[in-house]
Amino acid sequence: MPKNGSPKGFADVTLLDTLSPEIRPLKPAVGVDGHRARLRARFLAGGPEAIAEHELIEMTLFLALPRRDTKPLARALLARFGSYAAAISASVPDLLEVEGLGEAGVVALKTVQAAAQRLARAEVLHRPVLSNWDRLIEYLQAVMARERIEQFRVLFLDNRNRLLADETQGTGTVNHTPVYPREVVKRALELHASAIILVHNHPSGDPSPSVEDIEMTKEIKHAAQALSLVLHDHIIIGNGQWLSFRKTGYL
């Protein structure tokens, strides 16, 4: 035994070592784990405004890529797409072209986009659309503003102007989508809708209506009136801009 009478090796044991794991202070993490811990702590303390765009992408990729340093990937995504919003809205083929991201990383980004769209949709679902116009526009911008091809949607409303369904009726090229008034009206009758709102996007970002947009709207209006359906509006979504046919006098 050592001269102090303690069992062999006891002198090498510190008070810290005798504490239970639950109350023992943790050693500061280093490397990737330390960086992630600091980001999480900053986010929890200061909220979303406390972290930069590339850090938000990093955190999005944490769970998908648990053993990777996601900072280079985050910066690569920002360099290619320009912003966090543009990155999560990018197409799957475009995202897969980013070296090192892989399917797991792509799914993480697209999951965030899907969650944002569903949250926006929840703000308008089962509520009178015409009295929640700002929420409706936010939802439409979330789901359509960054689409790279033209998409035509119809919002089907009940007799209290609550949203029954939001359906994509067609997709096309970067500047044209074929629309068939008869199909729009037929679907409205199937859903027992009382009114509709037409929506399509302009991938160019400019929401100004074309001659074809105006003529198509007139055709659908006439078809709807024949069956006592109300066409409330036709909305064109650009990138950060939108246009209402009713407000601008086209309807």
Rounded CA-CA distance 218/181 in Å is 10
| Identity of the residue numbered 60 | T
| Identity of the residue numbered 131 | S
- 92 and 141 part of one domain: no
pLDDT exceeds cutoff 90 at 33: no
On whether residue 21 sits in a domain, the answer given is no
- 108 and 154 part of one domain: no
Q: Residue 216's pLDDT is what?
A: 92
Rounded CA-CA distance 106/83 in Å is 16
- 230 and 144 part of one domain: yes
| Identity of the residue numbered 124 | V
- 186 and 82 part of one domain: no
Choose the weakest-confidence range: 15-19, 58-62, 73-77, 116-120: 15-19
- 145 and 221 part of one domain: yes
Percent of residues, the chain, with pLDDT higher than 90: 47
On whether residue 19 sits in a domain, the answer given is no
Q: Please answer whether residues 187 and 228 qualify as being in contact, where contact means their C-beta atoms are separated by less than 8 angstroms.
A: no
On whether residue 25 sits in a domain, the answer given is no
Tens-place pLDDT, residues 135-194? 899 889 888 888 888 999 999 999 999 999 999 987 765 556 677 889 999 999 999 999
Considering only residues 19 and 164, tell me which one the structure prediction assigns the higher pLDDT. 164
Segment 124-140 shows an average pLDDT of 84
Rounded CA-CA distance 161/219 in Å is 22
Q: Residue 22's pLDDT is what?
A: 47
On whether residue 145 sits in a domain, the answer given is yes
Rounded CA-CA distance 70/66 in Å is 9
Q: Residue 43's pLDDT is what?
A: 87
- 133 and 244 part of one domain: yes
Q: Residue 37's pLDDT is what?
A: 87
Which of these three, 85, 119, 153, is where a domain ends? 119
Measure Cα distances from 204 to 173, 175, 209, 228 in Å.
11, 8, 12, 35
Q: What is the number of structural domains in the chain?
A: 2
| Residue numbers of the domain that contains 144 | 129-248
Tell me the two tokens of residue 138: 């936010």
On whether residue 231 sits in a domain, the answer given is yes
What backbone torsions phi and psi does residue 209 show, to the nearest 5 degrees? -75, 145
- 188 and 153 part of one domain: yes
- 208 and 242 part of one domain: yes
- 140 and 228 part of one domain: yes
| 50-59, 117-126, 128-137, 177-186, range with greatest mean pLDDT | 50-59
Rounded CA-CA distance 224/166 in Å is 17
- 61 and 114 part of one domain: yes
Segment 225-242 shows an average pLDDT of 93
C-alpha angle 241-193-138 in degrees, rounded to nearest 5: 20
Q: Residue 222's pLDDT is what?
A: 94
- 222 and 162 part of one domain: yes
Rounded CA-CA distance 139/116 in Å is 9
| 112-116, 195-199, 239-243, range with greatest mean pLDDT | 195-199
Classify residue 245 by burial, with Cβ atoms within 10 Å: 0-12, 13-18, 19+.
buried
- 142 and 178 part of one domain: yes
Segment 230-247 shows an average pLDDT of 94
Considering only residues 120 and 6, tell me which one the structure prediction assigns the higher pLDDT. 120
Report DSSP state, residue 3. T
On whether residue 176 sits in a domain, the answer given is yes
| 30-39, 76-85, 120-129, 188-197, range with greatest mean pLDDT | 188-197
On whether residue 2 sits in a domain, the answer given is no
Which of these three, 99, 119, 139, is where a domain ends? 119
> The domain that contains 242 carries what CATH number?
3.40.140.10
Over 213-233, what HEC string results? Answer: HHHHHHHHHHHHHCCCCEEEE
Which of these three, 91, 119, 147, is where a domain ends? 119
On whether residue 197 sits in a domain, the answer given is yes
Tens-place pLDDT, residues 69-120? 899 999 999 999 998 888 988 889 999 999 999 999 999 999 998 898 888 8
pTM exceeds 0.85 for this model:
no
